[in-house]
Amino acid sequence: NAGSKSGRGALIVLEGLDRSGKSSQCARLLSYMEGQGCRAEGWRFPDRGTSVGQMISAYLANESQLDDRTVHLLFSANRWEKRALMESKLLGGTTRIVDRYSYSGVAFSAAKGLDIEWCKAPDVGFIAPDLVIYLDVQPEKAAERGGYGGERYEKIEFQKRVADRYHSLRDSTWKIVDGSLSMETVEEQLRELATNCIQESQEKPLTNLAW
Ligand code: 2DT
Ligand code: MG
């Protein structure tokens, strides 16, 4: 029972291409966790609510132009401005289910041609996730799902490059879930992964992202 824990909360990240189902699955997982009596909160990056986030949002909507490295650093700053809050939530026993994280930061910027090591550097020292769930959907399949919303990166050729960069970021904290399966099947797999992760993370210290 995920609700009977007393240690720290877990940092669980969902990653994947646009239209891979991350946001829907985050919401489903969160309501399941709450139903289990587990203290859990959802979160997403970019957080468009801060002043940095508003600059990012305007850029994504093609309402402003920014240099590639500049916007990369804004995305990172948008995570840094939440680090202290995130740490205190986790240490206080709240699990966080996060829609996109530093992996999106690196995969999307590196897909533009920026050096991948340069892209990783500003996120060194950020909190390392206990679990990264990658919803694996072919770029062509993702594009078929009701199309894209018209934001800057929502183009199939670009998404293919993002998928390649994501692939090179995989490490032992990653679990690859076939995002082309039914919503219910994916949801079931996520419940199990998250429940195990929460139990295993309780007594582990938080560590920093080291790539
Ligand atoms: P949403 O559609 O999920 O709101 O994402 N992105 C995201 C980056 O380029 N760098 C980052 O650090 C993050 C978190 C992915 C909006 C787009 O922003 C991209 C898609
Ligand atoms: Mg999007």
Nearest atom in ligand 1 to 152's CA: 17
Q: Given this model, what pLDDT does residue 6 score?
A: 73
* Phi then psi dihedrals of residue 3, to 5 deg: -85, -10
Summarize the confidence of residues 154-170 as an average pLDDT. Answer: 97
Contact at 8 Å (CB) between 16 and 136? Answer: yes
Query: What six digits make up the tokens of 93?
Result: 């026993």
Taking only the tens place, the pLDDT of each residue in 8-28 is 999 999 999 999 999 999 999
Nearest residue (by CA) to ligand 1, atom 2, is 18
Q: Given this model, what pLDDT does residue 1 score?
A: 44
Nearest atom in ligand 1 to 48's CA: 4
Q: Given this model, what pLDDT does residue 149 score?
A: 86
What ipTM, to 2 d.p.? 0.98
Helix (H, G, I), strand (E, B) or coil at 87: helix
Ligand 2 geometric centre to CA of 204 (Å): 33
Give the pLDDT band of residue 70 (cuts 50, 70, 90): very high
- Rounded alpha-carbon distances, angstroms, from residue 106 to 48, 122, 147, 148, 188: 18, 10, 24, 21, 29
- In this predicted structure, which of 64-73, 75-84, 99-108, 144-153 has the lowest mean pLDDT? 144-153
d(CA 106, CA 103): 5
